Each structure stands twice: as C-alpha cells, then as structure tokens.
Amino acid sequence: MTGRLQAKLRNSIHRTTSTDEFIGKIKCASCGNLYHRYSCYGTYVYWRCADKSKTRTECCGKDLADFNIRKVSAYIMGMEEFDGAEFEKQIECITVLEDGSLEYHFKEGGTKLWQKA
C-alpha cells in the first residue's frame, strides 16, 4: 500500500481546529523528534518540531497548520471529513519530510505519501 497522493490545500480561510489525535504521532524526518502543538494569537493551532525551539539547531522540519493536517489525513484515509476515531484506528504515525510532504504509516502496514503541491 505505497503510493504518492496529491490533495491541494488552496483554501485561504484558516479554520480553528485543535486535534488531540495528532499528539505523539507526528515525527520530523529532519531530526527525528516529535512535533508539538502550539497556538498562535490564541486562535490558530500549528504543529512544530520540538527541536526547532532549541537554540543552535539545524532542523528543517516545516510547521503545519492543524486544519491542513486534518484535511490531508481525511484524504489519505479516503474520507470526506476528518474522523479522530478512525485516525486512531488506522494511522500509526505521520512523518514530515523536509519539503513539507507527509508520509502516513498505517497500523496494518504500508505507507502513503502526500506531496505538498
């Protein structure tokens, strides 16, 4: 179950979401650390590599908006909208590649790659 998928994220409206299902499941390919959730202006929720907050690091991990990861996750799982219970059931982890692409690792085995357009 390996493949490359492209779902375009062209929605300019930033939706406020905060997804607990992503905690401990998003990994950085650049440095190997986990991503942590942080909030911008008390409204926008992003995920950032934990290593980027340290001084003198060279991590290239891209920051990701929570609502965009939800869209891509739904697309990867073949759903119209994100379902947290289904995400927990299917997805082992997400690896963020240096170009911002996301590699989804399924609990049943196999991976799917979403490439940032």
Split the chain (117 residues) into runs of 10 and give each run's mean pLDDT.
Answer: 50 66 95 89 84 72 91 95 96 95 96 89
Q: Are 72 and 81 in contact (CB under 8 A)?
A: no
| Residue 104, SS3 per DSSP | strand
Strand 64-65, strand 44-49: pairing:
antiparallel
DSSP H or E run through 66: helix 66-76
The pLDDT assigned to 16 comes to 66
Domain holding 71, by residue range, is 4-114
CB-count exposure of residue 87 (10 Å: 0-12, 13-18, 19+): buried
pTM over 0.85: no
The pLDDT assigned to 52 comes to 76
- Give which of 89, 110, 99, 98 is closest to 25, Cα–Cα: 89
The pLDDT assigned to 60 comes to 83
* Structural domains in the chain (count): 1
- Give which of 72, 19, 71 is closest to 47, Cα–Cα: 19
Strand 26-28, strand 91-96: pairing:
parallel
